[in-house]
Amino acid sequence: MFFKFLKKQTLTILLTLLIIPQTIFAYSDEIIAGGDTVGIKLNTDGILIVGSYEINGHNPLIEAGLKSGDVISQINNNDVQTVEKMVEIINSCNCKSLNISYIRDEKTKNTTLDLYEDNGVLKTGLYVKDSISGVGTLTFIDPNTNLFGVLGHEIVDTNTGEIIDIKDGTIFDSKITGITRSSKGNPGEKNAVLYSDKVNGEIYENTNKGIFGKYTSEIDSSKLYKVANIDDIKIGDAKILTVLNGTEVGEFSIKILSVNKTSNKLKNIEFEITDKNLLDKTNGIVQGMSGSPIIQGDYIIGAVTHVVVEDPHRGYGILITNMLEEAEN
């Protein structure tokens, strides 16, 4: 804004137009609602430490100042991404200690990890892994971009509670073989068989709004749902799409109790299960339902993300627009 004084102290204000960049999202107005159970495999960006064990009274993890949740990125100045590579370096180095570079809280640190002999074998005292597998529910596929979303929330390390940084991953076929019912204070779960050789998509991101990537299998776009904006969502009847047996996606009734339009962008939709068949089978929300699409009329409005532990008939969901925007970031 520019100011200029003229005669008799008359003030003329010249206004300039401020061009403010806006993020324009390219997701489709109509998308495919999932509901299918999928296997999920995430490959960690480095080697994740998940625990330790003692060797002849020594705990190498503690002695080196390491802890569960640290990610090993280099050993003896060699990049490592797999446990196999880590074993190869240890077997070939002819050494009794390792120079370790690791990541904690997004900062790279260095330490020395001593190896201890046990029955003629040098051991690290670390429990480590380079991938994580589980079961979730496919939320959507955008037929124009082939972007997909799963879960509606992040995958975290069970030891630290921190979100896991990933290199890449896949989603693949899975079949539900049984249900462990929920009870007050104890969420149940879907029991499943994983078919990791039948890959359907490549994972790019693990975020607090879901797992996202590119769908690589053939898609069926015969049944599309309109993408709901928050003002399209109504209190009252809706349904979720999910699998309770085998691979068949079923529709189950719920009731929307409230919609959070402002503050919380992760628990936007509060709902309760009203479907008798679902309650008879599961007694509410169980682990593995995360990502189940929430449908109201012709709209896909969100995805199941959380169960109320003390009342598994009730739960929360994330807005579908929050997932779609995250998928495009």
Catalytic annotation, residues: 153, 275, 290
Structure tokens at 293: 């699409």
Count Cβ atoms within 10 A of the Cβ of residue 236 and give its class: 0-12 exposed, 13-18 middle, 19 or more buried. Answer: exposed
**3-state SS, one letter per residue, for the chain:** CEEEECHHHCEEEECCCCCCCCCCCCCCCEEEECCCEEEEEEEEEEEEEEEECCECCECHHHHCCCCCCCEEEEECCEECCCHHHHHHHHHHHCCCEEEEEEEECCEEEEEEEECEEECCEEECCEEEEEEEEEEEEEEEECCCCCEEEECCCCCECCCCCCECCEEEEEEEEEEEEEEECCECCECCEEEEEEEEEEEEEEEEEEECCEEEEEECCCCCCCCCEEECCHHHCCCEEEEEEEECCECCEEEEEEEEEEECCCCCCCCCEEEEECCHHHHHHHCCCCECCCCCEEEECCEEEEEEEEECCCCCCEEEEEEHHHHHHHHHC
Beta-bridged to residue 40, according to DSSP, are: 134, 171
Q: How far is CA 302 from CA 107, 174, 264, in A?
A: 35, 22, 14
Cβ neighbours, 10 Å, residue 193? 12
